[in-house]
């Protein structure tokens, strides 16, 4: 199970959402062309849109009723990714100026424009609660992103703080996607909340799986300046791994990758399994049937792709 699991009919609807995203950006101002090659790449996995559509199937599924919420979540995801370039961990943690690929002014304008497109899509959603779910998620993402970076010591505190940060960013957006989809499908409030809990846990599991897979790839390279859970799990009292975060020495980077592979992957995988199990448990709050089984496959996929 290497591909994100989608029922065949739903895969067609994800493609429909993809087409709507491209249509709403193709004729826009030049600022959007900056984002198209980096954030709205045609054919990319639309995980958030897929979660919206999957959650909608718990209720009465009508593509036209849920498509706008799916489009909006993709614009929000792209916007938050763009604005994230304004907050660089190395600059905030070590005082080393770093702008990244885009100038800050460009990132700000592109992100704002994408948020405006998201707002337009949300306004077309038949359920006004979608706006509330997405607005709350954006506030959580902003608060978590602007929070001070966690310390490296003690290791347990660093790991907990890092997971809290992901809970306010990655998990918040996945939870909002599931709640919005459920609302568009007419699900009752208790099922909406259950699907929000599912999205929160599944979103974290998928993110941590990405972080783990970054180190298991045969050609894995050291993500200079970045911090992920496998790296935090591999920390010891030795400061060498911390120093390797900013090292440009190929030998040090190779040593750091090997160290994370040896010490950081097993505990990260255990956390992915725990979160996937938590996501499965949350599905007890929704009716049994094909829709719940499809969502359960997403949780199973978070673990199976690590094999």
Instruction: Return the C-alpha torsion angle 54, 60, 61, 65, nearest 10.
Output: -110
**CATH number of the domain that 295 lies in?**
1.10.600.10
Instruction: Confirm whether 1 is domain-assigned.
Output: no
198, 167 Cβ separation under 8 angstroms: no
Give the pLDDT score at 123. Answer: 87
Instruction: Confirm whether 220 is domain-assigned.
Output: yes
Give the pLDDT score at 1. Answer: 47
Least confident span in 47-56, 143-152, 286-295: 143-152
Structural domain including 28 reads 8-304
Tell me the average pLDDT across 152-166.
89
Name the token pair of 125.
């959603």
Instruction: Confirm whether 203 is domain-assigned.
Output: yes
Task: Give yes or no for residue 39 having a pLDDT over 60.
Answer: no
Q: What stretches of 29-185 show up as alpha helix (H) in DSSP?
A: 30-36, 47-56, 63-84, 89-94, 104-123, 129-146, 155-168, 170-184
pLDDT, tens digit (0-9, with 9 covering 90-100), for 118-128: 998 988 888 99
Angle subtended by helix axes 189-216 and 47-56, to nearest 10: 150
CA distances from 27 to 15, 22, 24, 80, 146 (A): 19, 9, 7, 22, 33
Instruction: Confirm whether 65 is domain-assigned.
Output: yes
Instruction: Confirm whether 3 is domain-assigned.
Output: no
If one counts the domains in the chain, the total is 1
- Percent of the chain beyond pLDDT 90? 57
Instruction: Confirm whether 268 is domain-assigned.
Output: yes
CA distances from 285 to 269, 279, 303 (A): 26, 11, 22
Distance CA 148, CA 144 (A): 9
Instruction: Confirm whether 2 is domain-assigned.
Output: no
Instruction: Confirm whether 58 is domain-assigned.
Output: yes
Give the pLDDT score at 70. Answer: 96
């Amino acid at each position: 199970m290497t591909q994100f699991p989608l029922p065949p009919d739903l895969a067609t609807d994800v493609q429909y959402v993809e087409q709507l995203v491209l249509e709403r950006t193709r004729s826009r101002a030049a600022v959007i062309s900056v984002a198209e090659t980096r954030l709205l790449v045609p054919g990319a996995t639309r995980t958030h849109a897929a979660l919206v559509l999957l959650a909608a199937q718990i209720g009465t599924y009508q593509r036209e009723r849920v498509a706008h919420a799916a489009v909006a979540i993709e614009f929000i995801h792209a916007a938050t990714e763009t604005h994230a370039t304004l907050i660089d961990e190395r600059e905030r943690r070590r005082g080393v100026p770093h702008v990244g690929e885009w100038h800050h002014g460009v990132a700000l304008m592109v992100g704002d424009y994408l948020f405006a497109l998201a707002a337009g899509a949300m306004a077309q959603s038949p359920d006004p609660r979608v706006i509330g779910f997405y607005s709350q998620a954006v506030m959580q993402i902003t608060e978590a992103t602007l929070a001070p970076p966690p310390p490296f010591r003690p290791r347990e505190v660093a790991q907990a703080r890092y997971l809290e940060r992901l809970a306010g960013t990655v998990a918040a957006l996945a939870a909002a996607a599931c709640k919005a989809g459920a609302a568009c499908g007419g699900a009752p409030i208790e099922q909406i909340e259950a699907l929000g809990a599912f999205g929160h846990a599944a979103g974290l599991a998928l993110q941590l799986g990405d972080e783990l897979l970054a180190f298991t790839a045969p050609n894995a390279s050291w993500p200079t300046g970045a911090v992920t859970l496998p790296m935090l799990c591999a920390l010891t009292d030795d400061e060498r791994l911390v120093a390797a975060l900013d090292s440009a020495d190929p030998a040090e980077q190779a040593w750091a990758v090997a160290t994370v592979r040896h010490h950081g992957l097993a505990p990260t995988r255990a956390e992915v399994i725990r979160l996937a199990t938590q996501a499965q448990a949350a599905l007890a709050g929704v009716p049994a049937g094909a829709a719940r089984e499809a969502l359960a496959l997403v949780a199973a996929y978070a673990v199976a792709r690590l094999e």
